[in-house]
Chains A and B, each alone.
Chain A
Amino acid sequence: MPEKLEPHKVKKVIERMGKKLNRQMVGSLVGCVHCGMCTQSCHYVLANPDDPTFAPAYKADQVRKIFKRNFDWIGRVFPWWVKAKNPYSDEELEKLKDIVFGKCTNCRRCSINCPMGVDFATLNRMARGLLVSVGIMPEGVAVASKDQWEIGNQMGVLREDYLETLEWLSDELENEMKDPAARIRIDKMDADVVYAINPREIKYDPRTISDAARIFYLVGENWTMASDGWDMTNFGLFSGDDELGGAVARRLFEKVIELRGKKLVLSECGHGYRSTRCEGPNWAGMDVPFEMESSVMTMLRYIKEGKIKIDRTKNNLPVTFHDSCNNARSCGFFEEPRELLNLVATDFREMYPNRAENYCCSGGGGAMSMSEYTPLRLKAAKVKADQLKATGAKVVVTTCHNCVDALTDLIRHYKLGMKVAQLVNLVSSALVIEKKVVLP
């Protein structure tokens, strides 16, 4: 039961909405014609066909009615005519929280199915940011944001734990390759590649780090990982907090500049790639003086240039590919993973729909950190479960850590008997190691 909230929070939300509005948002707020074409594009609607409150237009209207009441002329003069309305109490803001955090993953599938070009996901993120600014948010969002502000990464991994993990991974790699050059180098100056990761890899899945390190070693790459400013994820994307988004992005960018790195390579993470590559410079108000790319593109280039040899028969289980929403619908990143997958696996089966029209894994928008909405999330995941089942694949490959967790969850929940993998795992397992590498 939430403790009684101060009524002035409603006033603050309205005041701050005025400052957040830009032309694109206003267009989306006034442009909706309530045609309902967005309805069937939403995985929440498909999983809850009898509940109209899951419709994207309905969810958008919960934000739109506040805008109309305060910033739009008809809504200010004849509010009842266009259902313009302010929240009357801070308890209503709590209900809005359940909608914008619990009933939407900001996947943008509704946005690309709207005849008017209304970008609901952007409005939803704005609403999240407004609620967060007055302290109304799911606990998981609060904890992850706090950790990212104070400790420097969203999972609260301490510096010593991070460095210790890289140390034992380096020990293993050195033993495997019988070469101290295989160790992960920390804070190396003038590296061609600065590799940034998702803290989930340190905490739960360190094999993705060693898989990447193995590939960099075999290529003879001049690469490094930073001792701090290494978290390429960004809870500002999920919380709608542009200040957090900018601070996190800036921390990462400034570290690369400090190390004089030439290129920032980002491990496979949907929201991390989008936040760093596509949104970070905007949030931070910073023109970034180096290249940024996903490790998927890096690995693809290595293979095409013959820098690593691959035996795709080592990955002979039927695989399918899930497009992370942030990669696909916000960064146009869907062909390179497929190209790479076709090079490292023998039996790749597309799911339908795919690419920019693929369905959300149900774990987007920070949903994996909001345990209070887990039942809703797993119910909405039925659409993805049906997609996976229809392919007959044994492995689903994705380029996003949140998707890995969400897919793992839904595979277990719907008893699909599949495994989840990332491209770095498949590339690493298909590697043909021929000779000792000489590093520069």
Chain B
Amino acid sequence: MSETLRFVSDYLQLMALSFMALVYILRIRWLLRFKAGRERQAPSGSADTNPRKGILYSWANIASPWAMESTRQNPFFYAQFVLFHLAVAANIIMSFIIPYAPGLMRPGFVVRGLQGLFLVGCLIGCYRLYRRLSDPFIRQISTPDDYFSLLLLTVWLFVSIWAAPNRPDQGEAPLLAYFIMTAFFLVYVPFSKISHYLYYPFTRYYFGKSMGYRGVYPIKRGPQPKSTKV
């Protein structure tokens, strides 16, 4: 392994990660500086709902496609959401495994599995870009950050396919590209919409707490009539 690859896979990653962590700490502090609204009224709704249940129900939202009409009625959209995020998560984990525990990636099935996941993620990224450009509703609400973030992730997943075998002896270019992109990603993320995963626990906590207090969460769907549907 060359010194350049050693630097980008280790020190550069740590520097970028530290920067991201610092910015995230500042971001959370900024968010927490705003006062949280409180509920003075007596709780409402049925007795088996409460803020704790509301919070848990709300946090579990991403893993509960039946919970929202928007995901129930769009199973394909939910499936691609899951696969895309799994691919990104796996990619983040790989960025640690390659420099610090490369033995875990020696089995061929692990590499091929990851490559398959990254390929699916990359294809989904392309589909999402197409959707963002072609659907007038999504295009209307899209910002340059939306497009760039998606493009960055899609390209990063593509590069990861070639980096996953972790064979610097066969050429360091894919790994160099991969780790430089990862470092850039870590630096860019806190300033982009990709950091939504930082906000998710907070937004869902407060929404779930209020809805649980008011008896709306967990949502109970009563028996639905068979034939009537809008």
**Does A118 lie at the interface of the complex (its beta carbon under 8 Å from any beta carbon of B)?**
yes
Question: With A55-B137, A330-B216 given, is the CB distance from A118 to B69 under 8 Å?
Answer: no
Bound together, the chains give a CA A383 to CA B228 distance in angstroms of: 13
* CB–CB B31/A280 < 8 A: no
Question: With A55-B141, A355-B221 given, is the CB distance from A119 to B207 under 8 Å?
Answer: yes
Contact of A282 among B37, B81, B206, B229 (CB under 8 A): B37
* CB–CB A39/B219 < 8 A: no
Select from chain B the residue with minimum beta-carbon distance to A273: B44
- For chain A, the bracket of interface size reads 35 or more
**Does A112 lie at the interface of the complex (its beta carbon under 8 Å from any beta carbon of B)?**
yes
Bound together, the chains give a CA A203 to CA B5 distance in angstroms of: 80
Contacts of B215 in A (CB 8 A): 331-333
Bound together, the chains give a CA A383 to CA B230 distance in angstroms of: 7
* CB–CB B37/A333 < 8 A: no
1/0 contact string of A25-69 vs chain B (CB within 8 Å): 111101101101111110001100000110101100100000000
**Does B45 lie at the interface of the complex (its beta carbon under 8 Å from any beta carbon of A)?**
yes
Taking the closest CB of chain A, its distance from the CB of B161, in whole angstroms, is 25
Contacts of A353 in B (CB 8 A): 69, 221, 224, 230
From A82, A115, A285, A354, residue with most partner B Cβ within 10 Å: A115
* CB–CB A33/B225 < 8 A: no
* CB–CB B206/A27 < 8 A: yes
* CB–CB B216/A357 < 8 A: no
* CB–CB B199/A31 < 8 A: yes
* CB–CB A117/B207 < 8 A: yes
Which B54-75 residues have C-beta < 8 A from chain A?
A: 58, 61-62, 68-71, 73-74
Contacts of A4 in B (CB 8 A): none
* CB–CB B141/A390 < 8 A: no
Contacts of A28 in B (CB 8 A): 203
**Does B144 lie at the interface of the complex (its beta carbon under 8 Å from any beta carbon of A)?**
yes
Taking the closest CB of chain A, its distance from the CB of B34, in whole angstroms, is 4
Question: With A37-B71, A81-B145, A352-B224 given, is the CB distance from A278 to B196 under 8 Å?
Answer: no
* CB–CB B41/A282 < 8 A: yes
Contact of B71 among A34, A74, A115, A287 (CB under 8 A): A115
Contacts of B210 in A (CB 8 A): 24
* CB–CB A33/B141 < 8 A: no
Contacts of B144 in A (CB 8 A): 80-83
* CB–CB B223/A350 < 8 A: yes
* CB–CB B223/A31 < 8 A: no
Taking the closest CB of chain A, its distance from the CB of B16, in whole angstroms, is 18
Question: With A58-B140, A117-B58, A352-B224 given, is the CB distance from A357 to B69 under 8 Å?
Answer: yes
Question: With A30-B199, A74-B191, A281-B41 given, is the CB distance from A38 to B70 under 8 Å?
Answer: yes
**Does A376 lie at the interface of the complex (its beta carbon under 8 Å from any beta carbon of B)?**
no
1/0 contact string of B129-156 vs chain A (CB within 8 Å): 0000001111111111110000000000
Bound together, the chains give a CA A335 to CA B70 distance in angstroms of: 23
Question: With A27-B202, A74-B191 given, is the CB distance from A33 to B219 under 8 Å?
Answer: no
Question: With A22-B35, A27-B203 given, is the CB distance from A55 to B140 under 8 Å?
Answer: yes
Select from chain B the residue with minimum beta-carbon distance to A279: B41
* CB–CB A356/B216 < 8 A: yes
* CB–CB A113/B41 < 8 A: no
* CB–CB B230/A390 < 8 A: yes
Contact of A331 among B45, B136, B228 (CB under 8 A): B45
* CB–CB B207/A23 < 8 A: no
* CB–CB B203/A118 < 8 A: yes
Bound together, the chains give a CA A115 to CA B77 distance in angstroms of: 12
Give 13 CB contacts A-B under 8 Å: A30-B199, A37-B68, A41-B70, A52-B139, A82-B145, A111-B207, A118-B203, A332-B49, A333-B44, A335-B46, A352-B224, A352-B228, A353-B224
